[in-house]
Structure 1
Amino acid sequence: MSPRTKEQNDAIREMRMDQIMQAAAEVYLEKGIQLEIRDVAVKAELGYGTVYHYYKNKHMLLEDLLWDALNRVESAVLPAKTGDVGSMLKAESFSRLLLTKCAEDLSVFILLKTVADNFHHFPGNRFSKLFADFQERIYLPFVEMVREGIGSKTAEKTANLIFGSLVGYTALNIHHHMRSEMDVEGIVHMIFSGIQSKER
């Protein structure tokens, strides 16, 4: 048998990383910050040594999970940020794309929930850069869409209400094992109908 090529090794590494990340997201939802590398290995059906080869501790693993989720969120909402429609329609589209991504990807939900909780489960200032990047790349552009869309001086308060509603709705569905039944259109329509009628 001939040795594997660099491309084959890279493909295996990428597959392993995806497997570990998916398992880590599932274990985090079950155990929170109490998760251990061993738990992730069991969930991923990999040897402890294999997971430990990639991540020396759970904080490194969670940090990668959250940074990866941030990049996927940014890609998911890009069409709303660059769309050629009014700001309120952009904000609505942004919310729909964000909620859809939460339903598809547990790590995205974990990121949003962790940001909403201000990383209070994590030690020290390990995630201050992640928080700053989330603000710059996701949150502040959304606040600006809301501000331009409703012409409100309370745009940040409104954006927080929307984010909180999306995170809370996702949490209810995930924890009751109804993720596949999430009514993305219905909840986004309900939220924005309420905001627009209140602002009139």
Structure 2
Amino acid sequence: MSPRTKEQNDAIRELRMNQIMKAAAEVYLEKGIHLEIRDVAVKAELGYGTVYHYYKNKHMLLEDLLWDALDRAESAVLPVLTGDGSSLQKAESFSRLLLQKCIQDPSVFILLKAVADNFHHFPGNRFIKLSDHFQERIYLPFVEMIREGIRSKSPEKTANLIFGSLVGCTALNIHHNMQSDMDVEGIVDMIFSGIQAKER
């Protein structure tokens, strides 16, 4: 049997990483910060040594999971960030896309929840840089849409309320196994109609 090529090794590595990340998100939803590498290995149907080869501890794994989730969250809302339309339309579209992504991709929900919790479950200062990137790439562009679109007296407070609503709705659906029943359009319409009524 001939040795694997670099391309084959890269493909295997990518497949393993995807398995590990998907399993880590699922285990995190079940156990939170108490997850262990062994739990992830079992969920991914991989040997403990295989997962440990990629991640020496759960904090390294969670850090990668959240950085990856940030990239995917940004990709999900990129059409709004680079598209046309009024600031209000963009803010609503941004919220819909982000909520839809949270439902489809648990790691994005975990990221938003970790940001909302100010990473207080995570040790040390290793998530400060991630938090700064989230602010720059996701939060502040959204705040600007709110500032221009709703003329909010406190756009940061309004943005926080919307993010909190998205996290809360996703959590209810995830933990009650109702993902397929989630009315993304209706939820976002309700949030924005309530906010606009308050701001008048």
Same fold (TM over 0.5): yes
Q: Alpha-carbon deviation of 1:36?
A: 0.5
Correspondence for 2:52 = 52
Correspondence for 2:17 = 17
- Equivalent residues in 2 for 1:1-200 (5 A)? 1-200=1-200
CA distance in 2, matches of 1:93, 1:3: 49
CA distance in 1, matches of 2:128, 2:9: 33
Number of residue-to-residue matches in the alignment: 200
Q: Alpha-carbon deviation of 1:197?
A: 2.1
Which stretch shows the higher mean deviation, 178-187 or 47-56?
Answer: 178-187
CA distance in 2, matches of 1:199, 1:31: 39
Which stretch shows the higher mean deviation, 180-189 or 52-61?
Answer: 180-189
Q: For residues 51-85 of structure 1, give each alpha carbon's deviation from its aligned partner in whole angstroms, at most 9, with x where no partner exists.
A: 00000000000000000000000110011111210
8 Å CA contact 2:95–2:188 kept in 1: the answer is: yes
TM-score of the aligned structures, taking structure 1 as reference length? 0.98
Identity %: 85
Specify the SS of the correspondent of 1:131. Answer: helix
Q: For residues 134-158 of structure 1, give each alpha carbon's deviation from its aligned partner in whole angstroms, at most 9, with x where no partner exists.
A: 0010001000000000122211111
Runs of 5+ consecutive residues of structure 2 not aligned to the other structure = none
CA RMSD, 1 decimal: 0.8
TM-score of the aligned structures, taking structure 2 as reference length? 0.98
Runs of 5+ consecutive residues of structure 1 not aligned to the other structure = none
